[in-house]
Chains A and B, each alone.
Chain A
Amino acid sequence: MRVNLICTENLCPVLKEFLELRGIILEPEASVSLVERGLPLPEAGLVIVFDPQDFKTFLDFIDAFDCAPEKRETGILLGKKEEGFTVIRIKEVCYFFAAGNYVYAKTADKKFELKQKLYELEENYAFQGLARVSKSYLVNIMKIEEIIPWFGGRLLLRFKGLPDEIEVSRNYAKAFKQLIRM
């Protein structure tokens, strides 16, 4: 699929990377245009206007078009850090956590705010090694360096390149152990 992307300078690099990772080719002459709300619309072709404040709807819409499955890289999320957006690969994330109404992704050195809910991430990316370890935490198994048996049947997880330790609560410990076929 080829699209013409029209957006502001601060959004352009992230969106460009995001769309290209989904196998979408960006071409100014394409007959389909993705335009950020508020910018001038092209006169010809199909125009899709998106609101940068509602990225989740936009991403879901893009994902609904399985443009080039063979070229598409899975496990890509869009994270918000301060005022900007960044493409995050799930394989870079150590764990996701919910705090208040927000969900965050924690990589080795950064923390991003996400639009997705924890259960959505769990459902969609379990095949990439995401596992729920407590009500508010979802960890990337690939990023775990060590499991420490804790008291009362709980487990403590230590991550590669991160000082944080996450506890697997007793309610989730059984499922977690089954996941690693213990």
Chain B
Amino acid sequence: MPNNNIMKYIRYEFNDKEQADSKIEAFYNEEGELTTDAAFIRLNKFVMTEGTYDSEGVEITAPVLSTGYALDVLWRDLDASPYGWKSYEVTPSNPKHKLL
């Protein structure tokens, strides 16, 4: 049956993709199997302000992107971030992403 006992959905912001990947890879064993019950959602950067373009599609102002590398995680068997993740937690006022 589904594990409905513990579930935690947390946003993290890492310096870059490589740092996020290394954090995630620590949860995979040598056979490439995930060793924790979690869903990792790699979000990268968000568009904070849309770019503007003229009628020919030429950029007038460039889009403004978020900083860092965003990663959402649904931890299904943890009620808090695992060791080494807590310091990368963020709580944006406008998350820009949600679970359906």
Partners in one complex: no
A residues near B (Cβ < 8 Å) are none
B residues near A (Cβ < 8 Å) are none
